[in-house]
Structure 1
Amino acid sequence: MASHVVGYPRMGPKRELKFALESFWDGKSSADELQNVAADLRASIWNQMADAGIKFIPSNTFSYYDQVLDTTAMLGAVPPRYSWNGGEIGFDVYFSMARGNASVPAMEMTKWFDTNYHYIVPELGPDVNFSYASHKAVQEYKEAKALGMETVPVLVGPVSYLLLSKPAKGVEKSFSLLSLIDKIIPVYKEVVAELKAAGATWIQFDEPTLVLDLDSHKLQAFSDAYSELQSSLSGLNVLIETYFADVPAETYKILTSLKGVTGFGFDLIRGTKTLDLIKTEFPLGKYLFAGVVDGRNIWANDLASSLTTLQDLAGTVGKDKVVVSTSCSLLHTAVDLENETKLDQEIKSWLAFAAQKVVEVNALAKALSGQKDEAYFSSNAAAQASRKSSPRVTNEAVQKPAAALKGSDHRRATNVSARLDAQQKKLNLPNLPTTTIGSFPQTMDLRRVRREFKAKKISEDDYVKTIKEEINNVVKLQEELDIDVLVHGEPERNDMVEYFGEQLSGFAFTVNGWVQSYGSRCVKPPIIYGDVSRPKAMTVFWSSMAQSMTKRPMKGMLTGPVTILNWSFVRNDQPRQGINQIQCPVNLRIFKLFN
């Protein structure tokens, strides 16, 4: 029986790390206090996995900000503007790279593949002097060991690290980031040697860029890097982990032919083609870390279906060589469903957050080894059936208009020039009209008023009066600045997705379903569990009020359907394009409000 988790959320079930970080940044608490909160969180996570029965527990997936930034620190790849003088990188340099300081800006931040998580982009050039400058991976391994737990230290792999970097400012366009591979491998060797000396028996390299369409020289760099590392890795079990998509066939062939690698991890939720590759050919005697529990979404696993997949794989690679795993790090899910005391019980039975997914992984591993928990599987099957048959999921009032949509419904009846002429006659705008995107800063007072209204501590009349005053101030300011097309500032909106989702059927909302976006920034994605419809107008009241305050055009602002989908936990019982189609009737009706 073997079970594994690629990674786990860091913020804590109630965002404990977020508040500790922000307190430290504000100078209200010490570095020791921050480190104590972090250590408690790590211990809690490791103990939780151990109690659930996970065999391969990851370490070094915790981060004070971002795992790629941690790798930058490990490699000593600090841009010169941060005035680092060598030695172990501390909080001052680390957080300056992440957030900037009074004299220098932060490093660039961008999305981690197609998730809503963001990483700090390394800035590299030919003159970077790499050195082993952060011993975090080893320290956390030792920390877990002192608590009586053997863990698998996780490192961002050398090739993915370079491919996710960018050339430093002023570096010639012809510079190849992969040319630095020979400079960073010696540091990786030092880390590996120290982990071996500390007693590590497994090590995990995350190489998610292997799911991209890599050209031959990038694949060659990957092969060369692990060939160079091979002697250092001798005596260790080595796992190379991929996730987020299928591994292309040529890449799969190169990956699985590497010498000195013990196991390979694949996302089998999104990687259905990879599943076919594994069934066709998998290296004899190697471990398959089968990512059958979704690390990107919050739906309970269909245990019966996953078990069938695992049994098929066991027939191909051998039952003793299959390790049940998550499809990727659970970083991208909410932390613990147990903290959702206000969530509808029926919907709650359909869900699994990170803590529950850990249990699912081990339940599948036990079942594969012949120790199936019949009661647990039976409860899961009942929840799956409930979700499939629930009238709350399938709504005929949405299905019928969606099915009746024609291609012409997605196109305007008039051409652009006719619409522009009509717009100009009505609005009489100058040749270069000015406007803003829409939202104005949300003050602490505005947030307080919204909280008080939601908690029924103030009346609706008092709430509307406060918001109306704020809109009026925003309108006056724009008129003073001579803006041509005004916005109302959106003071009534808590979040650009949540605000609309709360007014649509088919959406559910959590109390503590927080997911890290970057640093200490967390979001609480809505859950789209059913067909979406709009019971009533959502923005007309506030937009009409704002328009009444000015003779200038007032824009109505809506978050688009693609953003709503990508910032939500979406249904997994249909393809994403199907979800887009179901959204269309709703959004067509919404936009008609402003036509």
Structure 2
Amino acid sequence: MIKSYVTGFGRIGEQRELKKVLENFWAKKATKDELEKTASILKKRHWKYQKDAQIDFISSNDFSFYDLVLDTIITLGCIPDRFKGLDGLELYFALARGQKDIKALEMTKWFNTNYHYIVPELNKNTKFKLNSQKIINEYKEAKENGIKTKINLIGPITFLALSKTNDGSCSFELLNDILVVYEELLEEISKLDDEIFVQFDEPIFVTDFGDKIVDKILPVYEKLNSVSKNIKIIFATYFEEALKAVDELVKSSIYGLELDFVYGQKNELALEKIAKTDLTLFAGIIDGRNVWKSDIDERLEFVNKISTIIPKDRLVLGTSCSLLHVPFSLKYEDKLNKDIKSWLSFALEKLEEIAIITKLANNQELNETENKIYQENKNSLKTKSTSTLIHDKNVQQRVKSISKFQREKDFAERIKIQRQILNYGILPTTTIGSFPQTSELRQVRNAYKKGLISKEVYEDDIKDYIDNCIKFQEECGIDVLVHGEPERNDMVEYFGEQLKGYAFSKNGWVQSYGSRCVKPPLLFGDVSRPEPMTVKWITYAQNKTKKIVKGMLTGPVTILNWSFVRNDIPRGEIAKQLALCINDEIADLQNSGIKIIQVDEAAFKEGYPLREVNVAEYEKFAVDCFKLSVSSAKASTQIHTHMCYSEFNDIIKTIEAMDADVISIETTRSGNELLKIFAKVGYKQEVGPGVYDIHSPRIPNTKEILNQIKALLEVLPKERLWINPDCGLKTRKWEEVKPSLINLVKATKLAREL
């Protein structure tokens, strides 16, 4: 009989309960007991939902206070020396957020998602020491609630592949040492039950780099598999195909193999090989990364096809990846258009889809509730295929008519004009855009949305915030100002709310990192801009100062990558629609007197395919769409862009091809290593490497920032450097931001005298 599984489940809570208690804990408004009580309630609730959906393989150790890679660092005891003297939750959160004079570990994107993980920091002298407490306790906790779970672990090969060394050594030199700890962990796990399933997440093997290290799979997993006969190992991959890994795993004696058949359709090519072994196939057939309903009949047909190759008693159906990447439930979405809501499926609804498909594949009769869901699935897909909400002929025609992607002059000519007109000096200072989003500010926006205050009252409050923002920046001495973005809830949602073709959930939150949650808008149809989106508030701010105020826009690729995107047309076509909207906005801003416009592409790298064979297609539409969006800018209008945590070594030429005048990037946690690639390739445009880590509550002092700037000056000439924080300041508090920016300006003034 075919069974069911879920790769992993979200942990933030259906009402962001974990976020709230975490932030209260950090603010010393909640105790450790309150934090742990909330965690226990959430785990119990999430396990129950999966049990009620008749999921056979439910996970434990998929819950985390911050990040599962960070949890693995704690489990393996590989703590950098600078954190010595700390323990417990103080150590845990210091690793993620920093503490006083202790810098946090680096943070970057989890493969090609908007989820961030904490990067392990190793060196050739790193020692490992097992701390299995969380894993053991969570398994026991689930069992007390009547659920025997599979235990989720980050696999040792992926852990080392995602690690960074601070001494130039290769992380894989530590493979034997780390395996000793994994073996100890499995020995402890083996004592928990007569039979225990352990899922090792090894997504590194859906990448080209993973293909180069497949020779490590067999020796590692045969060794782990030999620890105890009562442990059944599931080797899990997701996000793409893993054919070369399968070639190794079919030689192994492990229990199961998880493959993604949504984003890794080529995995079908491995079915015959798997069928000739004793491996159980965990087939990811339900999209764990997007929010659209699965076509149950189409998925069932696919399962029936698989089951002619893989015996049903060796087939388990589930999600393509962890449900961490989608919102919790549709049950709170009472304001969504009925048709649009009928096309959606969040985490709980995906559990229902798995249950129904599993039953139908086993020729079992659906109960009344399941049959109703099944019929609604069929009906909603019919309405979606013909809906006039989705298709706009005018937008489609405009995309077909695109003829211009270039600005009117090349960079060398533009920058001469800009420097003359804008008259900024050496090492100009600026910020990335947003300033602290206070609780009072959020309350004002919410009250206005709910009709509790008038437009006049709302706008007066927004103006007061902008006035204070401008005043502080002028007093602080920042050169190029921003308006602080008080009117914006989110850098994508704000724009989506003003574009046709978008819808918005009420409670569609997903975790980005730690307590940081985002609510991606729902891009369901052809996109157009009915009217200007930012001109009113940017020009208001500009009229309050003689200094230059940057216009702040989100770029088309980031809007695309940070939305839940329709899946009926190519993403490149959707990006062009978005680019035309930004193009129109830039024209309106510069015609209103705005001289510098920042088009953020924070998620540019995030959208990269995991396989090199697919990269050229993505780069083509991503670069073209950025250039299309800024092609309305005059030579005298300076275009900035910003990119978040990314590795740029492999895409530096692509960034150059985007042809922005200034790029700002996050570099504080990685030092100037990231910047060296800009110097190595002879990057000609201007660069603003971050010198203030905004993902930590730490306040950097003047000396620390000056040292950061000195390190930057070793790589690039001061004539081409801007000084700015790593990212926007919306998540920080004013009492952190003000002294930090004052120190930033002081340090810059000292650097100008060097």
TM-score by length of 2: 0.74
Contact 1:256 1:282 in 2 (8 A): no
Distance in 1 (alpha carbons) for counterparts of 2:335 and 2:424? 49
Contact 1:453 1:463 survives alignment (8 Å): yes
Counterpart in the other structure of 2:677: none
Counterpart CA distance in 1 for 2:477 and 2:514 is 38
Paired residues of 1:100 and 1:106 also in contact (CA < 8 A): yes
| Paired residue secondary structure (2:553) | coil
Hey, what does 1:386 align to over in structure 2?
383
- The offset of 1:29, in angstroms, is 2.7
Match of residue 585 from structure 2? 590
Match of 1:239, SS state, is strand
What amino acid sits opposite 2:528 in the alignment?
S
Whether the 8 Å contact between 2:293 and 2:343 is mirrored in structure 1 is yes
Distance 2:464 2:43 in 1: 46
Question: What displacement does 1:578 show?
Answer: 2.5
Superposition deviation, residue 413 in structure 1:
4.0
In structure 1, C-alpha distance between the alignment counterparts of 2:465 and 2:491, rounded to whole Å: 18
Give a deviation string over 1:116-153, Cα, whole Å, max 9, x none: 11111111122222121132212111111122211111
Q: Which residue of 2 aligns with 1:365?
A: 358
Contact 2:522 2:563 in 1 (8 A): yes
Per the TM alignment, residue 579 of structure 1 is displaced from its structure 2 partner at its CA by 1.8
Q: 1:580 aligns with which of 553, 556, 575?
A: 575
Distance 1:268 1:553, change over 3 A: same
How many angstroms does 1:400 deviate by?
Answer: 1.2
1:177 matches 2:171: yes
Listed one character per residue, the Cα deviations across residues 274-299 of structure 1 (whole Å, up to 9, x for unaligned) are 12332566443321111010111111
Larger displacement relative to structure 2 (317-326 or 543-552): 543-552
Task: After TM superposition, give the deviation of residue 420 of structure 1 in Å.
Answer: 4.8
Q: Paired residue for 1:188, among 182, 197, 202?
A: 182
1: CA distance, partners of 2:184 / 2:385: 52
Amino acid at match of 1:75: L
What does 1:31-70 align with in structure 2 at a 5 Å threshold? 31-70=32-71
Instruction: Go from structure 1 to structure 2 and tell me whether the alpha carbon gap of 1:590 and 1:43 turns closer, same or farther (over 3 Å shift).
Output: same
Is residue 537 of structure 2 the alignment partner of residue 537 of structure 1? no
Q: Is the 8 A contact 2:275 2:311 kept in 1?
A: no
Map of 1:99 onto structure 2: 97
Q: Map 1:144-159; keep pairs closer than 5 Å.
A: 144-159=142-157
**Separation in structure 2 between the aligned mates of residue 305 and residue 135 of structure 1, nearest angstrom:** 43
Q: Determine if contact 1:178/1:218 at 8 Å carries over to the other structure.
A: no
Aligned residue pairs total 584
Partner Cα separation in structure 1 for residue 410 and residue 79 of structure 2: 53
8 Å CA contact retained: 1:257, 1:283: no
1:284–1:317 Cα contact (<8 Å) kept = no
Gaps of 5+ in 1: none
Three-state SS of the structure 1 residue aligned to 2:3 is coil
Deviations 1:91-136 (A, max 9, x none): 2222222222234222221111111111111111222221211322
2:520 alignment partner in structure 1:
525
**Contact 2:528/2:577, CA 8 A, preserved across alignment:** no
* 1:2, distance to aligned residue in structure 2 (A): 0.3
1:548-567 map, 5 Å:
548-567=543-562
The match for 1:117 is: 115
Secondary structure at the residue paired with 1:285? coil
Task: Determine whether 1:81 maps to 2:82.
Answer: yes
TM (normalized to structure 1)?
0.93
| Paired residue type of 2:351 | V
Query: Which has the higher mean CA deviation after the structures are superposed, 210-219 or 333-342?
Result: 210-219
Distance 1:144 1:49 in 2: 12
Distance change in 2, residues 1:216/1:28 (3 Å): closer
Question: How far 1:231 moved relative to its partner?
Answer: 1.2
Q: CA deviation at 1:222?
A: 2.5
Deviation at 1:584, TM superposition (A): 3.0
Task: Extract unaligned runs of 5+ from structure 2.
Answer: 591-754
Aligned residue identity for 1:8: F
Taking structure 1 as reference, are residues 143 and 487 closer, same or farther at Cα in structure 2, changes over 3 Å only? closer
Deviation track 1:275-333 (CA, whole Å, cap 9, x = no partner) reads 23325664433211110101111111111111111111111112222211100000011
Q: Which residue of 1 aligns with 2:223?
A: 228
2:468 is the alignment partner of 1:473: yes
CA–CA separation in structure 2 for the residues paired with 1:70 and 1:476? 43
Please say which of residues 177-186 and 581-590 is displaced more in the overlay: 581-590
1:498 aligns with 2:493: yes
Residue equivalent to 2:319 = 326
Indicate conservation of the 8 Å contact 2:260/2:285, yes or no.
yes
1:279·1:313 contact (CA, 8 Å) conserved in 2? no
In the superposition, relative to structure 1, how do residues 84 and 133 fare at CA in structure 2: closer, same or farther (>3 Å)?
A: farther
Q: Which residue of 1 aligns with 2:684?
A: none
Bigger mean CA offset, 211-220 vs 123-132: 211-220
How far is the alpha carbon of 1:61 from its aligned partner? Answer: 0.5
Instruction: Say whether residues 1:343 and 2:344 are aligned partners.
Output: no
Secondary structure of the 2:526 match is strand
Flag the 1:405–1:38 CA change in 2: closer, same or farther, 3 A: same
Match of 2:269 among 276, 279, 291: 276
Distance 2:28 2:519 in 1: 27
Residues 15, 507 of structure 2: 8 Å contact kept: yes
- Deviation per CA, 1:456-504: give whole Å up to 9, x if none: 2322122222322333333344445565544322222222111111111
Distance 1:390 1:279 in 2: 40
Please give the secondary structure, in 1, of the residue aligned with 2:524. strand
Q: 1:397 to 1:279 in 2, by over 3 A?
A: farther
Q: 1:253 corresponds to which residue?
A: 247
Cα distance, 1:559 vs. partner? 0.8
Partner of 2:134: 136
Residue identity matched to 1:319: K
| Alpha-carbon displacement from aligned partner over 1:497-527 (angstroms, at most 9, x marks no partner) | 1111111111111121111111111111111
C-alpha distance in 2 between matches for 1:486 and 1:232: 60
TM-aligned CA distance change 1:187 to 1:302, over 3 Å: same
Match of 2:542 among 538, 547, 565: 547
Q: Note the alpha carbon deviations across 1:176-206, whole angstroms, 9 max, x for none.
A: 1111111121221222122221114311111
The alpha carbon displacement at 1:233 in A equals: 4.0
The equivalent of 2:714 in structure 1 is none
Contact 2:335-2:506 at 8 Å conserved across structures? yes
Deviates more, 1:395-404 or 1:578-587: 578-587
Cα 1:553/1:100, change in 2 over 3 Å: closer
Q: Distance in 2 between matches of 1:553 and 1:93?
A: 43
The 1:231–1:430 alpha-carbon spacing in structure 2 relative to 1, beyond 3 Å, is closer
Instruction: Tell whether 2:291 aligns with 1:298.
Output: yes
Query: How far did residue 447 of structure 1 move?
Result: 2.8
Query: Which of 62-71 and 430-439 deviates more?
Result: 430-439
CA deviations on 1:74-102 (whole Å, 9 max, x unpaired) are 111122222258xxx63222222222223
Contact preservation (8 Å) 1:78, 1:84: no
CA distance in 1, matches of 2:250, 2:238: 15
Contact 1:178–1:221, Cα closer than 8 Å, also in 2 = no
| AA matched with 2:458 | Y
User: Aligned in 2, Cα 1:501/1:149: closer, same or farther, shift over 3 Å?
Assistant: same
Contact 1:487 1:554 in 2 (8 A): yes
Question: Are the counterparts in 2 of residues 256 and 264 from structure 1 also a CA contact under 8 Å?
Answer: no
- 1:245 CA displacement: 1.1
Q: CA 1:216 to 1:209, structure 2 compared with 1: closer, same or farther past 3 Å? A: closer
Instruction: Say whether residues 1:238 and 2:233 are aligned partners.
Output: yes
Is the aligned partner of 1:514 residue 2:515? no
**Percent identity at matched positions?**
43
Return the alpha-carbon distance in structure 2 between the equivalents of residues 318 and 528 of structure 1.
39
Q: Show CA shifts across 1:206-259 (max 9, x none).
A: 101111113676222232211221211423222111001111x3332113322x
Q: Which moved more, 1:283-292 or 1:272-281?
A: 272-281
The whole-number CA distance in structure 1 between the counterparts of 2:212 and 2:392 is 51
Cα distance, 1:390 vs structure 2: 0.9
